[in-house]
Amino acid sequence: MTAARERFAAEGYERATIRAIAGDAGIDPALVIRYYGNKEGLFAAAAEFDLRIPDAAGLPRARAGVALVDHFITRWEVDGSLPALLRAAVTNKAAAARMREVFAGQVAPAIAALCADRRTVPIRAGLIGSQLLGLALCRYILELPPVVGMSREAVLANVGPVIQNYLDALV
């Protein structure tokens, strides 16, 4: 799983091969096929991750925006599953479907715990997802120089209020 996550994150879904992943792990590729069937099965298993969004009960309501950005950056940087899933989801339908499951099963419920108006939760969660994934895209994947060059504090100071706005403002 570690080898698979690292390869998928570094090379993307299309270029990562079962042969290379098995090589990293020091096992026979046939063993990977026996357990996971094919690359899609291996990927879906590697992407069975938990975003571990902190329980909203522990978040001061007015600091939730900054806290969510901070948590997202940490998850992205310490766990290769999210980068791997995003890279794969851009060109692979099964991975995009898995991304929608993570969104519906983990992101939306966490946002629901922070919003009084249940009706607007999906749109708020979608807008928050758009800013956080766009931040990761520009900072870690496209590596746009000014976004790479921002300190973590600068990212929190600028993007935190946007997420807070998506939690609080009329939609």
Interaction residues for a copy of itself, span 141-170 (CB under 8 A)? 141-147, 150, 154, 158-159, 161-162, 165-166, 169
Could you say which of 37, 105, 109, 134 contacts a copy of itself (CB under 8 A)? 134
Site for a copy of itself contains 56 (CB under 8 A): no
What tokens were used for 120? 């607007």
CB distance 147 to 61 below 8 Å: no
Stretch that binds a copy of itself, among 28-36, 46-54, 63-71, 117-125 (CB under 8 A): 117-125
Range 94-103, long-range pairs (CB < 8 A, 24+ positions): 94/40, 94/43, 94/44, 95/13, 95/43, 95/47, 98/44, 98/47, 102/49, 102/51, 103/129
Stretch that binds a copy of itself, among 21-29, 32-40, 70-78, 82-90 (CB under 8 A): 82-90
What tokens were used for 45? 């298993």
Site for a copy of itself contains 70 (CB under 8 A): no
CB distance 75 to 51 below 8 Å: yes
CA distance 15 to 11: 6
The site map against a copy of itself for 32-51 (x = CB under 8 A) is: --------------------
Site for a copy of itself contains 130 (CB under 8 A): yes
Site for a copy of itself contains 12 (CB under 8 A): yes
Amino acid letter for position 137: L
CB distance 101 to 132 below 8 Å: no
CA distance 59 to 158: 19
Residues that bind a copy of itself (CB under 8 A): 11-15, 86-87, 89-91, 96, 99-100, 103-104, 122-123, 125-127, 129-135, 137-139, 141-147, 150, 154, 158-159, 161-162, 165-166, 169, 171
